[in-house]
Structure 1
């Protein structure tokens, strides 16, 4: 079967503003594959995709949304419906299934027993599973009993193919109203508890330097959590909040204004924010894991262990680091990923 006769339905729809999914879909289409974005339903998204599009492949990103609900009862109902749909896809429609494993468990850490059973079932039905590191591959094989030949380590299409990067540091700081002599830390992304923003606010408040600035750019969709963040930082005038979705054309201003990107995750398997920072040639302070040690081995002093003292130490160390050299190396790594191997996921 030629590439032009392969029809792929992508689930769930991450929205037009999601660069990861957008770039992958665009890359597959450039390789003569027909790609359709599936529609969202509370239940039955897979069934509707099968009935409407009759695909060769079903491709899934974040399947936790098909398993986890706000209550255990709703999670159980969603999970049972999902199991039926996957069995139907494999045994009746004879469709092949491909999945990108972003995280080994949901970030909220809820209903983990149910999730592990259903997610494990789903993964064992997949023809190919894509992960981002050998470390996550090893964990997935052990945790879910997968066949090694079905799990491939393939990176994303680099984000610098998606985001404009045309403005310099001075212009960016002027645009955001930041003084030129400030040392600027940037947190960028949706504001969620697992990302460790409360710890960042605490540690940043303990820094003695008056010439620091912390930018937090991104939106929280949890009103209570947002109120907790602003209450924690209300007395710090060196924190600038951009509490909104950052449009594609604006992203360059935030990264080019920053000296370093800080991503203080409490737990992470893979982060698109790390990939994005690397594509903008930025040093990164983030959580030390097997995967980040391998990816960011040239900037190990900027990786913190999971406690506040270590994070504070990294925020201090980075001020004395060779930021230009680290950033240049991060871009080189981002630019030489094996994203071309995405086509291997859809070989019949």
Structure 2
């Protein structure tokens, strides 16, 4: 049996660079990767690999009756792959879909997906524990493979973001960048920031606002230090926004794994965030401030503390964490899992080695 083809579902996404960066690293390790979609729905053959990322898009529909039909077709497709000898994997980016949250149907579907998969990948130990508890799977079914970094993933456009929003270059800037919706905790952030009596500090909130979510609370705060850009931040300017900020603040009300936190660290920006989900596994001690979300004053105190961070020391801690989030190491670990229990010979990194000897 020759080397398998990996069908990444999806290989690339306009909204998330994760699968694109992972794909590049898997290919660099010697496996061929194809984008999985309707055009090659039945193409995976015996020994090939189908790696799923956000399965809710494949089984959810605009109404519940349609969701049932779509879910049954999706479940049948996965069963067909199993009978055909295709190896199935799912990276559990979130325990529950952001679009629907926790529902009984999502529980049934996600439990089924894990049951038919050869293995599930999770991005942290905390997500592994939650998945085991939620879906009742064996811990051996789940393998921790961290979310890789975003170093050099986005180009710098060269825009002067501070000048655009009238923020002096010597003033401290708290930055939130990303999609804006209720679970992001923006209201709490505005409240905590306005409680700070720092005339030389500013808060910039940038990102597309979800339909139906009002930012009226910012107007009511009536604080000229707060700047808002309620639109999607294009990839060409994302690095410019990150470079403009002193710290990135992610005051989530709930979170599993935050790509935004990893993005901030990738550009050596310390992160202020609550001790939720896997954030404590990604934000290194000395590389940001983690606060107790149950403490009403936790975020405000964390903002005050972040102003006093030593930049040089902070960057050392962040650099160490980024080394742990190297994509090549992560892809190598995944390939080891892909190839487990196979008897074929795989060519990895320019060398012919037995699959069981691929380094973790």
Q: TM-score interval w.r.t. the shorter chain?
A: 0.7 to 0.9
Query: In terms of mean alpha carbon deviation, does 305-314 or 254-263 score higher?
Result: 305-314
What is the CA-CA distance between 1:324 and the residue it aligns to?
3.6
Please, which of 183, 198, 204 is the counterpart of residue 187 of structure 2?
198
Is 1:209 matched with 2:198? yes
- Determine if contact 1:108/1:194 at 8 Å carries over to the other structure: no
- Determine if contact 1:133/1:291 at 8 Å carries over to the other structure: yes
Unaligned 5+ runs, structure 1: 40-44
Query: Equivalences for 1:61-72 in 2 at 5 Å?
Result: 61-72=53-64
Query: In terms of mean alpha carbon deviation, does 191-200 or 262-271 score higher?
Result: 191-200
Query: Equivalences for 1:251-330 in 2 at 5 Å?
Result: 251-289=238-276, 291-299=278-286, 302-307=289-294, 308-330=296-318
Q: Distance in 2 between matches of 1:178 and 1:118?
A: 48
Q: Distance in 1 between matches of 2:287 and 2:114?
A: 33
Tell me which residue corresponds to 2:76: 84
Q: Distance in 2 between matches of 1:303 and 1:182?
A: 23
Helix, strand or coil at the partner of 1:317 = helix
TM-score (normalizing by structure 1): 0.85
Q: Distance in 1 between matches of 2:59 and 2:151?
A: 33
Unaligned 5+ runs, structure 2: 343-360
Query: In terms of mean alpha carbon deviation, does 233-242 or 69-78 score higher?
Result: 69-78
Query: Equivalences for 1:137-286 in 2 at 5 Å?
Result: 137-164=128-155, 173-174=162-163, 177-220=166-209, 222-225=210-213, 228-229=214-215, 231-234=216-219, 235-286=222-273
Query: In terms of mean alpha carbon deviation, does 259-268 or 287-296 score higher?
Result: 287-296
What is the CA-CA distance between 1:174 and the residue it aligns to?
4.1
- Determine if contact 2:11/2:23 at 8 Å carries over to the other structure: no
Q: Distance in 1 between matches of 2:148 and 2:282?
A: 16
What is the CA-CA distance between 1:13 and the residue it aligns to?
5.9
Please, which of 34, 37, 43 is the counterpart of residue 36 of structure 1?
34
Q: Deviations over 1:109-163 (max 9, x none)?
A: 5452111111011011111211111222122223223233332111233210413
Q: Distance in 1 between matches of 2:63 and 2:188?
A: 28
What is the CA-CA distance between 1:345 and the residue it aligns to?
3.5
What is the CA-CA distance between 1:282 and the residue it aligns to?
1.4
What is the CA-CA distance between 1:285 and the residue it aligns to?
0.8
| Aligned residue pair count | 332
Q: Distance in 2 between matches of 1:325 and 1:250?
A: 27
Tell me which residue corresponds to 1:42: none
Give the alignment's Cα RMSD to 1 decimal. Answer: 2.7
Q: Distance in 1 between matches of 2:155 and 2:185?
A: 28
